[in-house]
Structure formats: structure tokens, C-alpha cells
Amino acid sequence: MISANPSSRYWRAARAPRYSVTFALPLLVAYEALALGLSHDSITGVRNGADVLLKSVFVLLGGRDGLIAFGALLLGTGGVLVWRDRRRSGPVEWRVFLLMAIESVLYALVFGLVVGTLTGLLLRLAVGSNGRGFATQLMISLGAGIYEELLFRVLLVGALGWTGRRLFGWGAGAAGTFATLTGALIFSAFHYVGPYGDHLELASFTFRAIAGVMFSGLYVLRGFGITAWTHALYDVFLALAGR
């Protein structure tokens, strides 16, 4: 329940799987539906790069059946996390999702302002359209929220933090800093890989690296669901600004 001390209890609840994972589910559904509708092909169509990378092994091993296996694994894992959390903590309160949505919109707007300002202090940056139609940009933006956060925050930052603590013997602060900064550089570099990657420029690389640091910090503080939606909305706002 979210009754006593509503502010602090909400802050904790929004990070819990019963809220965080459930909140991210509509983003996944919207992205997959839009991607399939635009490409009419679940394997060869244009997709977000992190989506392609995460599914590549499954596609290589099983083709379309591999995609089904990936989807079952992703949804099954999320379902188990939500089920275990609900058993431990009780049912959800739907007003929490409304507060999470408001948080995500506010963070996306603030991140756009802060990242753009910080980058502008270092470099002259012009954000413009990349020539894709808005529907395709929207699809890629939604995919960035769900799949880039899954790949670069949940998996990569988590693995880097574990490496710092267990292999190098660092404390939580040092390991977290290492994971955040290294993950942000890898996150930025990823946008320039592959046939649909952008042309490498210092301005855009810096812009994305700063964004990566902020998304990692948000993930640590507010969990997966809010970070996924913040990233998706942030990219949508950038796409609208560049039109």
C-alpha cells in the first residue's frame, strides 16, 4: 500500500518490479507494433539497433522461431519479477503509474534542456532531422526507451558495476562511477555502428555521452520503468525539435 508517508513510499514503490516492469510494458508493445507495421517483416525491417543486437543470437539460431523464444524469455522474465513482487508486497495502486508518467515527462524535458546546455558549453551542436520519416523516428525512439535501456543500463551498467566490485575490489561508489562513465561512452559509440548508424562527429558523440551519464544516474535512482519512458520521450522530443 502507498498510504503512510506517501512521498517516500512512492519513491520506493516506483522502482519495484510490479510497477517498473508493468510501466514499461506498453512501451514495448507500442514499439513492436509500430516496427512491424512499418516494415511488415519482423527480421529484416528497420529496427532500433539495440533491439537488433539483443535479438541477433536468437535470430541466428532459430530465425522467426528464435524471435518467438526471445519474446517468451523477455515477457516470461518480466512476468516472474512482477508476480514475485506482488506476492511479497501486495497489489498495485494505479495512481502510482500516473505519477510515474508525470515524472517521465518532466525528466525528459529537463534532460533535453540540461544535456543540450552542457553540450553547448563544450561544443557547437546542431540537432537536425536525419532524413527519416517521423513514423520511423517515433518507432526508433520508442525502441531506444525499451531496448537501449535494457541493454545499456540493466545489462551493461549492471555488469560493469559487478566487475568493479567483484574483480577489482572497488567500493560501491567507485564501481558505480566506473560503470556509469564507461557505459555512457559505449552507449554513445553504439549509435555510430552498423548500416543505419550516424556519421561520427564529436558534437553528437559528446551529446549522447552526457545523456548516457544522466540515464545511468536516473536508472540507479528511479529504476527501469521511469528511465525507459524518459529515454523514449526524450528521443521523441528531439525528433520533434529537429523537424
Which pLDDT score, from 0 to 100, does residue 207 have? 84
Q: Please, which pLDDT band fits residue 129 given cuts at 50, 70 and 90?
A: low
Q: How far apart are the first and last CA of the chain?
A: 44
pLDDT top residue among 5 and 1: 5
Which pLDDT score, from 0 to 100, does residue 49 have? 77
Which pLDDT score, from 0 to 100, does residue 229 have? 96
pLDDT at 195 > cutoff 80: no
The SS3 of residue 93 is coil
Which pLDDT score, from 0 to 100, does residue 230 have? 95
Q: Where are the domains of the chain?
A: 6-241
In whole angstroms, what separates CA 185 from the centre of its chain?
Answer: 15
pLDDT at 120 > cutoff 90: no
- Least-confidence region, from 115-119, 204-208, 209-213: 115-119
Average pLDDT over residues 159-181: 89
83-102 core/surface letters (b: 16 or more CB in 10 A; e: else): eebeeeeeebbeebbebbee
Which pLDDT score, from 0 to 100, does residue 2 have? 45
- For helices 134-143 and 202-241, the axis angle rounded to 10 degrees is 120
58-80 confidence digits (pLDDT tens): 888 888 888 899 999 999 999 99
pLDDT at 186 > cutoff 80: yes
Average pLDDT over residues 196-221: 85
Average pLDDT over residues 41-55: 74
Which pLDDT score, from 0 to 100, does residue 21 have? 96
Question: Under 8 Å CB-to-CB from 151, ≥6 apart: which residues?
Answer: 50, 53, 54
Which pLDDT score, from 0 to 100, does residue 107 have? 94
Question: C-alpha cell of 26?
Answer: 506498453
Which pLDDT score, from 0 to 100, does residue 28 have? 95
pLDDT at 43 > cutoff 60: no
Which pLDDT score, from 0 to 100, does residue 124 have? 54
pLDDT at 6 > cutoff 70: no
CB 205 within 8 A of CB 80: no
Which pLDDT score, from 0 to 100, does residue 122 have? 62
Mean model confidence pLDDT for the chain: 85
What DSSP state is assigned to residue 41?
A: -
